[in-house]
Chain A
């Protein structure tokens, strides 16, 4: 592999890692703060992609699609939290697994009824459709850089929100000691609802931003969900920093695995997880 190819693969792996981080961050926050296993998290990614596709067709503008889609997904997250998840924070993990598995089926069929079972493409907006030429034959699409940029910005925003704002302080306090935080007068229910909606929002944005590259298809949430589980396990539950590092690591292993060892590429990430588990059963960054 020469340097240019290496560079392209490296950019791809970082972009994939950052995308995984967007999903894993929400997942790990919801795990860490509310103690909920959410198997349906991948469905939000799918929802995002389908929203991007239908809203872009409706409004004729990718930017508008993303803005409206984000608002809709946050509202949807708040609604779901109010209707179902709120009642499951204190329940057994088994109940949570069942509930969210049932929701996967519900979401998949709602998708099938609303949007059909066909594969769709989303066109890249004109402003971002260019490619940066690297050599005579190889180039790198601007849109992929844009994706990485969006993800990085959101990761930075998330970091600032959690570690520098008053709301973030309350979130961290709630994760640390639920009852004590509530006793101090913090509306923990509202915090939970916001964290859940934040997780849904991040996953949906990831889906919307990824739609032009990955295209939009049924069951697109399942595979990405399992990758996110791996990221969360490697990073350590509840740790956003861990999720970021683990996501980049998984992105690297997966992308370079596919190029260098295509025969076993599907398994490499899980081997990585097994190795981490052997030495650090609670992930790299235990919270």
Chain B
């Protein structure tokens, strides 16, 4: 009974509005919502738009690279920090610190760093490397990778912290036993520790995937979807359509596509992981 009101509120504001958005995506709504049923026309319009294809392609590139790089860098840093080194607390804070910034700050800072007339490129040219060239930010087709760089910079420290916590939770006895059996440090990690950290991988991946799909502020601050529309993402596309172009129906259709993408990736993964845990019991 105690949780009933909050349950009701949750049902309405999350699932109720998901339902509302689905319905709006099936209408001709432009400036304001309209409730006359139209059909799947908005979805056909959406998939006929070049810009949407660019956005989806970018989302794919971004998600895959962001996920791989964050997990890879996170694990490597965590393992290195786990070697009982000196000043671990200090280093850990340094790596974790970017997480304390908002994506807007990260985006703005990297925008300046990567700007060819202000940042890295100018710096290297000024100190004598005249042919040094690093203008991804202003090169269509490459700008999406600058978003990846900034996002990885921001999030990999957090992933490191998750993995570090995971590493610490592993019983020392197991590692000692493996050492006695003559296992090297590499095989201890690859064959014993990492497989034991499966639940940690799950948390990390779920967090990263949902960050990637809803990524909006970083893109806006760093490239604003540009140059041109080359670093557009579905979330940017959706806000553009809903609030700048008076295409609420089309925006709802794109929101539903994003929703389905998240569901398609995350739900099966969660299901298989949770099921595995059930089997173990």
Mutual binders A and B: no
- Residue numbers of B with Cβ under 8 A of A are none
